[in-house]
A = this chain, B = another copy of it.
Amino acid sequence: MTQISARPATVATTFDVAGVPAGAAGHTRIVEADLERRWLQHTGLLEEICRYAMLPAGKLFRPVLLIESALAVGGRLDTVLPAAVGTECGHVASLIHDDIIDDDDMRRGRPSVRARFGDANAIVAGDLLIFRLFHYLADCHDAGASAERVTAALRATAMAGVDLCLGQAMESELTGRLDCREEEYVEMASLKTGALFRGACEVGGLLGGGTRAQAAALARYGHHLGIGFQICDDLLGYLSDPATTGKAATSDLRNHRLTLPLILLLRQGGDDGRRLIERAFAEGSADVAAVTEALHHCGAVPAAQQIARDHCDIALEQLRNLPETIHRDALSSFAHLAVRRVC
């Protein structure tokens, strides 16, 4: 796999409390203020549910990626801000529906939408947020993006959403399968997580006025960044306590999902490793402490970390297609961050 050279000298080296590069922290505040403004105007239970799901906001990775991508190709923040908010709507919609599918009652350290408002409301709220994603994309035309660019962004957004759904379906199909291969996991991660990252970066490049080549490079950057991010996310449960991630570490084991670390444990952990996972899949409860210890003992954790770093390296390479600006540096910081937080 291609190796990237040293981290760019100009890259921002500090991070704010939310884990977002300091240079992008201002953008998270702008996005959050826009979210607040949009959901203040609405009334009714459904909008209240959406507000509950959207605010307080998460890390806003996708909106910030979209904005930095747009700025990196010379675009304007106010032109792409609606699309940035929209990409968060699409992401939160997938979380709301995911929590119904996985029977998850907790999200970001508090009751999930389905736990708080019921499955029926959660289904409709997710649908509404998908339509808002496209509604806000149309708003970018009023904010200065040409119709040609909005139409190109429409296609990129729709295809990202299609891939996201295919990834969710693939995840379901792989559930319970102990023979899930590394390549299948990576494909699932590229669809389920890589697609929205790719869509956010590509849409930023398109609406920001980038060339076709720049938008394509940003799409590839987002794709690989998303895969690296997903691998790290799957590792987190075995590295930190549930309070940090707001999600039970046992979620994947409980849902009988073979994430990359578990695939590597099956490959590298001998009979003991296999028995641990088989027992977790066969019985209702998993011995998370034993699995965690085995993961570290057999080298599955550093192996998974290396694969995540490889994808981040490919992501970083794509940025060479962009002019040297503080926004390219911010995107570079993001790629490092996606790995560094767990490596």
Closest beta carbon of chain B to A124's beta carbon, Å: 5
CA distance A126 to B126 in the complex (A): 11
Contacts of A134 in B (CB 8 A): 134, 154, 157-158, 161
* Stretch of A52-60, A141-149, A273-281 contacting B (4+ beta carbons < 8 Å): A141-149
Question: Which B residue's beta carbon lies closest to that of A150?
Answer: B151
What mask results when residues 211 to 223 of chain A are scored 1 for a CB within 8 Å of chain B, else 0? Answer: 0000000000000
Q: Say yes or no: is A123 at the interface (Cβ < 8 Å to chain B).
A: yes
Please give the count of copies of this chain that the complex contains.
Answer: 2
Q: Say yes or no: is A11 at the interface (Cβ < 8 Å to chain B).
A: no
Q: Is the CB of A128 within 8 A of B165?
A: yes
Q: Is the CB of A124 within 8 A of B101?
A: yes
Contacts of A44 in B (CB 8 A): 166, 169-170
- What is the predominant secondary structure among interface residues of chain A facing chain B? helix
Contacts of A162 in B (CB 8 A): 128, 131-132, 135
Q: Is the CB of B158 within 8 A of A151?
A: no
CA distance A137 to B46 in the complex (A): 26
Q: Say yes or no: is A324 at the interface (Cβ < 8 Å to chain B).
A: no
Closest beta carbon of chain B to A225's beta carbon, Å: 21
CA distance A120 to B123 in the complex (A): 11
Given contacts A93-B127, A131-B162, A138-B155, list 6 more A-B pairs with CB under 8 A: A97-B123, A121-B169, A126-B127, A127-B130, A132-B162, A147-B148
Can you name 18 A-B residue pairings with CB atoms under 8 Å?
A: A45-B173, A100-B123, A101-B123, A124-B165, A126-B127, A127-B164, A128-B166, A131-B158, A131-B162, A131-B164, A134-B134, A134-B161, A135-B159, A135-B162, A141-B151, A147-B148, A147-B150, A151-B154
